[in-house]
Amino acid sequence: LTFGDEGDEADWEARPPVVTVMGHVDHGKTKLLDAIRNTNVVAREAGGITQHIGAYQIVTELEDYERPITFIDTPGHESFTAMRARGAKVTDIVILVVAADDGVMPQTVEALNHAQAAEVPIVVAVNKIDKEGANPAKIRQQLTEYGLVAEEYGGDTMFVDVSATTRQGIDELLTAILLTADASLDLRANTEQDPQGVVIEGKLDKGRGPVATVLVQRGTLRQGDSIVAGDAYGRVRSLLDEHGNKLKEALPARPVQVVGLTSVPRAGDTFLVVEEDRVARQIADRRQARIRNAQNASMRKRISLEDLDAALKESRQLNLIIKGDNSGTVEALEEALMKIEVSDDISLRVIHRGVGGITKSDIDLALADDVIVLGFNVRAEGQATELASREGVDVRYYSVIYQAIEEIEAALKGMLKPEYEEVALGTAEVREVFRVPRIGNVAGSIVRSGTITRNSKARLVRDGVVVADNLSVESLRRFKDDVTEVRDGYECGIGLGSFNDIKVEDVIETFEMREKPRA
């Protein structure tokens, strides 16, 4: 498993493994990541503020293995799958978290299916072994059905019993990751190639503008580089690690925040470095044009390009975090919410759900995206409340499901893009065509219906066939006077700008685009 496969062998260097944590809701993914981060980073970096970023690196402090490991910290296997769907291969090893007091659940199976489909080795973390009723042997037993046989039973999957709460087993888990990396993966990358990698997440930061968390996969990304990420581009103004420290460069498997892009790229976008800003811009423009064309073809013809652009820029997805007092209500609420349908192009996504109060890490997560945090019979904890109000995160409390549904439905409707419809204004029949110097052909016409209005949109119909669309009434005269409108039954001269192919008996239709009232 190497990132990049070209270039001089001598330039290849060992790189840290990249790990993603997956598993059923509430089995402790978040807490396990927190435990790993807290044992290995915060204690070391006194004063360093660990912000939530979509990926970070820790340095293990194990006797034999003082080595870095990169964790992708985007919730759930949705993002793993989404990235894979976009062709981005990011993860070397999946940690499958299974709660020892609960067992294999639907999302456990989903997660392991995703990992197996991607041919990514799995290390099983049997979590919550501190709990009464924990039965780690049962977990091993259950997972054999899915082809994950523990080493101690003669298989080749490492199972580690852990508690994210007491932090028991964390070191063993990190050891297992490194052993798996060393035993079966040849993790190297060429540090001298042109830098490339993947966007893990993008966000719009109030102070710094677009910020992308990227994972460098080959080459060395440096401050000052001109980069293209998806359809965003720019020059790397600063590179920041998970503590907000500025870095001069980032080597393969190093996640960094990139500041300096002109817009926000999407998770799973690849990025690359180009020689000059100009080239970065060209590539980005071309990608934007491609996206626009694709959208253009699929959408109704009469929506303008401006609308399409705006639609592209806007997020068409409402993200939710659901916290509740027990897993039954959380599931019921999620299920009910997912049934809301407002429009095909707006979707609802639950990026995280869990039992218990709304924590600071929930709010951190919400900050990464446009997220509404729902608390069902639970409230935000002290620090979380403060952070949420400081950062303007939308936190809402409910104790009745239908209220939550009504409000979320309203929020979704608020995201609806206005639809436009064509409203006919008037038609005129061409009686004579005059050639006017410096203006071009003017259609001497009689208004047959409605009103012809200056500056309205127009098309030309000949023998029942539209011969020109996208015209406008650029000049309108009655006798020698410029007028703004001419009504049914009157004669007038209509100029269609630089369009001159006008013939007697043509029909000029005029119309405007009006915002459709919403149901």
Site residues, ligand GDP (CB under 6 A): 23, 25-31, 127-128, 130-131, 163-165, 354-356
Cα(503)–Cα(507) distance, integer angstroms:
9
- CB nearer to ligand GDP: pick between 33 and 264: 33
Give me the least distance between CB of 52 and ligand GDP, in Å please: 13
- CB nearer to ligand GDP: pick between 132 and 344: 132
Q: What is the b/e burial string over 455-468, where b = at least 16 CB atoms within 10 angstroms of the residue's CB? A: ebbbbbeeeeeeeb
- CB nearer to ligand GDP: pick between 25 and 58: 25
Give me the least distance between CB of 32 and ligand GDP, in Å please: 6
Are the C-beta atoms of residues 494 and 471 closer than 8 Å to each other? no
Give me the least distance between CB of 109 and ligand GDP, in Å please: 15
Q: Which residue is nearest to ligand GDP (CB)?
A: 28
Inter-helix orientation angle 29-37/170-184, to 10°:
90
Which stretches within 368-440 are classed as H helix? 382-391, 401-414
State both tokens at 415.
């995201």
Give me the least distance between CB of 409 and ligand GDP, in Å please: 25
- CB nearer to ligand GDP: pick between 77 and 454: 77
From 20, 204, 22, 282, select the one nearest 213 (Cα to Cα): 204
- CB nearer to ligand GDP: pick between 67 and 323: 323
- CB nearer to ligand GDP: pick between 353 and 454: 353
Task: Dihedral sign for Cα 384, 386, 390, 394, please.
Answer: positive
- Side-chain-side CA neighbours of residue 327 (13 Å): 6
> How far is residue 340 from each of residues 318, 324, 405, 413, measured CA to CA in Å?
12, 19, 8, 11
């290849």: which residue's tokens? 12
Give me the least distance between CB of 133 and ligand GDP, in Å please: 11
Give me the least distance between CB of 142 and ligand GDP, in Å please: 18
- CB nearer to ligand GDP: pick between 225 and 362: 362
From 440, 6, 445, select the one nearest 188 (Cα to Cα): 6
Give me the least distance between CB of 390 and ligand GDP, in Å please: 23
Cα(469)–Cα(511) distance, integer angstroms:
11
Give me the least distance between CB of 27 and ligand GDP, in Å please: 5
Give me the least distance between CB of 338 and ligand GDP, in Å please: 17
| β-bridge pairing 440-453 and 485-487 | antiparallel
- CB nearer to ligand GDP: pick between 163 and 180: 163
Backbone region of residue 463 per phi and psi (left: phi > 0; alpha: psi in -120 to 50; beta: other values): left
Give me the least distance between CB of 163 and ligand GDP, in Å please: 4
Give me the least distance between CB of 33 and ligand GDP, in Å please: 8
- Side-chain-side CA neighbours of residue 249 (13 Å): 11
- CB nearer to ligand GDP: pick between 210 and 324: 324
Residue positions counted in the chain: 519
State both tokens at 301.
């013809």
On the 0-12 / 13-18 / 19+ scale of CB atoms within 10 A, 282 is middle
Instruction: Give the H or E element holding residue 108.
Output: helix 106-117
- CB nearer to ligand GDP: pick between 25 and 227: 25
- CB nearer to ligand GDP: pick between 140 and 188: 140
Cα(501)–Cα(472) distance, integer angstroms:
14
